[in-house]
Structure 1
Amino acid sequence: MYAVKSSFPLFHTTLPNSTTPIHRLRQQSSLLTTSVIRLSAQMRVDILSESLPFIQRFRGKTVVVKYGGAAMKSPELQASVVNDLVLLACVGLRPILVHGGGTEINTWLIRLGIEPQFLNGLRVTDAATMEVVEMVLVGKVNKTLVSLINRAGATAVGLSGKDARLLTARPNSKDLGFVGEISRVDSAILRPLLEAGHIPVIASVASDKTGQGYNVNADTAAGEIAAAVRAEKLILLTDVVGILGDRDDPGSLVKEVTIKGIKKMVRDGKIAGGMIPKVNCCVRSIAQGIHTASIIDGRVPHSLLLEILTDEGVGTMITG
């Protein structure tokens, strides 16, 4: 027999050699298994205890989460996001989920022989594209997310910006077609849902005063909804690590930045393309009273919990 000491007291044991009787092997195997279970349980309890201050801070507060990008492609990451959302609801937060579905929209457009086009990070939307957008976002993605949340143990309610005139839009520009800017948010439909403990799941389409449908950027929709319900925090789950100080260096993540700093980065050309609508909606929501807005990497498992329930967070947090 020979002894091996571990840095974990539970694992301080004597390992067997080839002459150890079989019953001793079984006893030691059982001891090791029990030790692992005890260690795992202790770690879970410690993590939960460390989360308490964050749970107390956000309990009863509304958090708006925009969901899209790579986190929507993978079934594993999709399940992670849904479970995190349900956990947050269970500990007393009031989450609202606003979603896009760009990748799936592109897939359907290509199947129909329509080439996806973008201008300054926004989808160019003609009448045919608008039909596909509504079919995918309202008819497919929204229903899928509602079903997943319900199966995970919470109660989700599927909506689009058209329902109860939640979002009223106006045209963005002639070059973009049926792409809308949000002119008004009527959050009356959301408040009773939140008070009842339900999770609103909102597809980012809207209509104007005549009923014409518009494709609305999901980041923008999330930001305006967050401002309307006076949310504590806006979180954009996306497929980038956050805002980079150098766009060519993934290691140059900016952990925290003010509105003033964001505007300087845009002027200096450090933020461009699809990141512009994201930072613009964060800046606008903070200007309307949101405490913080974060752009986080939805490809990281449990990134939502890391952002809300830890000091370190994950991604970039924007403050006033």
Structure 2
Amino acid sequence: MFHVVKIGGSTLANLQSAFFDVLKNRIQQGEKIVIVHGGGPEINKKLIESGLPLEMKNGVRVTSQESLSCVKTVLMDITNTKLVERLNREGIAAQGLSGAEDFMLSCDFLDKENYGWVGNVQKVNTKTIQNVLEAGKIPVIASLGVTENGETVNINADTAAGETAAALSAESICFVTDTPGVSVLGEWMKCLTISDILKSILEGHISGGMVPKVEAAIKCLDLNIKQVRITDQTLSGTELLKEVLIT
């Protein structure tokens, strides 16, 4: 069975050896791991160096044509390359991929007027992913997509990971962050139901960049991915559930 691990940009620079040990253990147990990553802090740094504005709306990066060039450079030439090199150093064979390659993540525009060159995933071509796995390597996918006209677009990495997991009918997905999970009213939650999440968003207890994470997680639950977690490098953290389990 497939298992998707999404690594947030803020976590990438601080990955610990213990994280790779967990991955190796899961691979040795026969799990087919697929990694999807973002690159937020590095993108911010590149935009500032280039004199371009940083703008977020509803947890989504507003991406002009000018800033898209920075996003592509960071995601593929910096974060993807570094992560693949680190995995290989840690003894995990890996291959870097872009969601824009071979129409892997086919998109239309999320809302061009509000967000610019940001994609809304319509279809995931899993063939390339499966080919890499069959070659004995972990696919490491940068969160870019492509429109039917061949235009590269930025994709929120949480969304890209969720759509990839759904297309693979993955057994589980972990959204790896620099926090121990989802916090509500100052408390790290062991588990949350969909109704808990929606209520917390409405009341403002879940906000900012955590909103697309939990929305992507909800979509994964709706698509019957059995285990959905928002977690730190332990891959434990907060489990998200459709409803409360009665035991």
The residue number in structure 2 matching 1:269 is 204
Matching of residue 73 in structure 1 with residue 13 in structure 2: yes
Write out per-residue CA displacement over residues 180-213 of structure 1, whole angstroms, 9 at most, x where no aligned residue.
Answer: 1111111122223323432000000011001111
Q: Which runs of 5+ in 2 are unaligned?
A: 243-247
Matching of residue 105 in structure 1 with residue 67 in structure 2: no
State TM-score, norm by structure 1. 0.72
Q: Which has the higher helix share?
A: 1
The residue number in structure 2 matching 1:137 is 75
Paired residues for 1:239-318 under 5 Å: 239-246=178-185, 249=186, 252-298=187-233, 303-304=234-235, 307=236, 315-318=237-240
Bigger Rg, structure 1 or 2? 1
**Count of aligned pairs:** 241
| Structure 2 counterpart SS, 1:154 | coil
Matching of residue 193 in structure 1 with residue 122 in structure 2: no
Q: Which has the higher strand share?
A: 2
Q: Which runs of 5+ in 1 are unaligned?
A: 1-60, 308-314
| Structure 2 counterpart SS, 1:158 | strand
CA–CA separation in structure 2 for the residues paired with 1:284 and 1:71? 23
CA–CA separation in structure 2 for the residues paired with 1:69 and 1:191? 24
Q: Looking at both structures, which has the greater relative contact order when contacts are Cα pairs under 8 Å and sequence separation is at least 6?
A: 2
| Structure 1 counterpart SS, 2:183 | coil
| Structure 2 counterpart SS, 1:105 | helix
Paired residues for 1:8-157 under 5 Å: 61-74=1-14, 77-157=15-95
Write out per-residue CA displacement over residues 65-112 of structure 1, whole angstroms, 9 at most, x where no aligned residue.
Answer: 1112432222xx254433432332123211111000110111111111
* Contact 2:9–2:42 (8 Å) recurs in 1: no
**Deviation (angstroms), 1:266:** 2.0
CA–CA separation in structure 2 for the residues paired with 1:109 and 1:79? 30
* Contact 1:82–1:148 (8 Å) recurs in 2: no
**Deviation (angstroms), 1:170:** 1.1
The residue number in structure 2 matching 1:178 is 117
The residue number in structure 2 matching 1:165 is 103
CA–CA separation in structure 2 for the residues paired with 1:229 and 1:121? 25
Look up the equivalent residue of 1:142 and give its one-letter code.
Answer: N
Q: Provide the aligned C-alpha RMSD in A.
A: 1.6
